[in-house]
Structure formats: C-alpha cells, structure tokens
Amino acid sequence: MDYRSIFRDGLFAGRHAVVTGGGSGIGRCTAHELAALGAAVALVGRKRERLEAVAGEIADAGAARPTVHACDIRLEDEVERTVGDILAAHPRIDALVNNAGGQFSAPLKDITQKGWETVVRTNLTGGFLMARECFRRSMESGGGAIVNIIADMWQSMPGMGHSGAARAGMLNFTMTAAVEWAYAGVRVNAVAPGWIASSGMATYPVAMRPRLQAMWRQVPLKRLGTESEVSAAIVFLLSEAASFISGSCLRVDGAVPNARSSWPLPDHDRSQPYYGFPLETPPDFLRRDGGGV
C-alpha cells in the first residue's frame, strides 16, 4: 500500500537521506515516507535483520530499496566506518534523521553510572557522532539538513532522568550546530515527540502499562500521537519549505507541556489522528474503545 503523505510526489527525488534507528517505530515510518517521496534512503541501526525487513517493506511498496548499515552509534569508530560505507553506496548525504535512541524507566536513585552513561551515549553522544561525521564527510561541501529527534522533556522527565538530560543536551547541540554549520548551507533542527503510540511503547515493562494506557487523559487533545504525525514534522523540516528554519525545535505533543493543574481538560473526541503509514500498528494495549489511541 502507498504511503499517504501530505507532501507532493517526488519532493525528495534525487536526494539521499540517512535515517538512524530505522528498524522500528518512528524511524521506520520516516524512512517509508522519505522513500515514498523519492529519496534514496540509508537505514542505520544496531540490528541488521530489522533494517533488512524495513528495506524489504519499502521495496515492496514500490520505492527504491534502501541500503542497510548495521552500526552502534555510541562507538566513534563504528560511526566513522558506517558513514564511509553510506558514502560508498550514495554519492552524498543530503539529509540526516538522527532518530536512534533508547532508555529504560527508573528513578534517579536507582540508576547506576553504567546505566546513566549508556543512555546518555545513545541519546546524545551517538547523535553528535552521526551528525559530525555526516557534516565532515559530505554536508560541509554539499550542504544539507539535519533533524535530531529528542523528546518532551520541558518540565522534567521523572522516571527517565537520564534520558531527559541527554535530550536536553541534544536540543542545545541542535542550536549550536545550526550556528556553526550555517556557513556550509546546513540547517539543523529538532523534533520533540510527546506521547506517541509507537511500537516502542510495547518495550516497556508490563507493570507500566496501566500508566501508559491512562496518559491520553493528560493530553489537551485527548489522545496519543501517531508515528505518521511525527514523520510529517520531520519531512517538513527537511523540505525546501523550511529553508529559513534552523536551530528550532518542533514539538509534536498535543500541548501537554502547556497544560496546568489549575485548568481542567474536558474529555472530547474532536482531535482526529493522522495515519499516513499503512503499516502503522499501535500496540494493542493502548487502544481505547473504538480502536483509536
């Protein structure tokens, strides 16, 4: 089935895009949309089998089959090798979607140094290394656009303090890179997804599910977001329509950070989700009556 993108056909024809964390969730969805819009995509992730599966899906949908590159973005030598391999398969890198990340739920007092550093290396250091190498090896001479995927961390992240610290760092890196790399015609922005009904939700412990199931009640739009809604924000920032946008962060969160305990959030069903990705399947435990999220 074709991706039902809101963007025009062929928007990224002739362009080459790297998507990290492309084997699942938002990365998978974004890779599908970019490929459907004509981009030649390079998928990066730790598990080659997942990347190969997504590459097959994209080819089956009628787009060019992406190249696949297994990499642990936390390791500098692997990132350097991987970007070299990408440039051996693609003439240049026009776009980088810095999506790879991960965390686990724990209160600060229970996080070990190893656990802290693992999450920070995944969500901050790895993104820096990928952006730096893409810039050094291609974008400094040819220009391009980078979108870093962070998170809704504006009012703290209780239970995920390591991730919140790393994501806040990634936002500052985004703003700094937007200034330092502007001379090369490189734009750097961020997208901050809020509570998205992505496959990643299914990886959290079962004990967390009641809390995850109830999150929509704290959203002014009274639902969770979709992978397609995040992908659309990423695609916009990579597009020529965002040519004068750099150093910014686009929140995709249903206004959660703006809600206040002093203001009631009445239930409603006026906000309808956008599903552009035909293979998008929210975890079953997140579905409410009527099948929505």
Domain-located, residue 174: yes
pLDDT of residue 105: 86
Structure tokens at 228: 């397609």
- Between the alpha carbon of residue 283 and those of residues 180, 274, 286, 291, the distances in Å are 40, 16, 6, 11
Q: Is 7 within a domain?
A: no
Contact by Cβ (8 Å): 279, 32 = yes
Instruction: Please tell me the predicted confidence (pLDDT) of residue 28.
Output: 97
Domain contains 4? no
Instruction: Quote the mean pLDDT of the chain.
Output: 95
Query: Residue 167: its pLDDT value, please?
Result: 96
Identify the CATH number of the domain in which residue 29 sits: 3.40.50.720
Domain span holding position 99: 16-286
Q: State the total domains in the chain.
A: 1
Phi then psi for residue 120, to 5 deg, are -65, -40
pLDDT of residue 208: 83
d(CA 137, CA 87): 8
Residue 293 located in a structural domain: no
> Is residue 10, in this structure, part of any structural domain at all?
no
Split at pLDDT 50, 70, 90, the class of 292 is low
More confident residue, 292 or 57: 57
Answer yes or no: is pLDDT of 1 > 80: no
Residue 1 located in a structural domain: no
pLDDT at 283: 86
Residue 195's CB: how many other CB atoms inside 10 A? 21
**256: in domain:** yes
Residue 11 resides in a domain? no
The pLDDT tens digits for 52-108 are: 999 999 999 999 999 999 999 999 999 999 999 999 999 999 999 999 998 888 999
Output 282 or 120, whichever has higher pLDDT: 120
* Contacts of 266 by beta carbon, 8 Å cutoff, 6+ apart: none
